[in-house]
Amino acid sequence: MTEYSTDEKTILVQYAIKKFEDEETIIERLKSVLSEKDIQRIIDTLIGTQRVRRIGPEVLQNNESHTEIPDIPSNLESVIESL
């Protein structure tokens, strides 16, 4: 696994949420890039900072009315596209 900074991991999770919304699918797709523990920790942090909201028991959604999703750094473009 490639080592990513905390900001890069957060961006990966936010774009996965934007792409899939279902928490189980998000975790499964990101497992090839991040550890499940990292994914869960980032999701919890994003919810706690209100950048992501939980809609129902398994659905996550970026809270774009509250904060914007950062632009994709060039080194993450291919990773996000392959999710």
Is the pLDDT at 4 greater than 70, yes or no? yes
Is the pLDDT at 1 greater than 70, yes or no? no
**H/E element, 52:** strand 52-55
Is the pLDDT at 6 greater than 90, yes or no? yes
Is the pLDDT at 2 greater than 80, yes or no? no
pLDDT at position 32: 92
Pick the closest to residue 64 from 73, 52, 54, 75 (CA basis).
52
Fold of 6-81: Arc Repressor Mutant, subunit A (1.10.10)
Q: What does the alpha-carbon distance between residue 27 and residue 38 come to, in Å, rounded to a whole number?
A: 10
| Predicted confidence (pLDDT) per residue in 18-74, tens digit | 999 999 999 999 999 999 999 999 999 999 999 999 998 899 999 988 788 888 999
Every domain of the chain and the residues it spans:
6-81
Model pTM? 0.90
pLDDT at position 65: 83
**What type of residue is 6?**
T
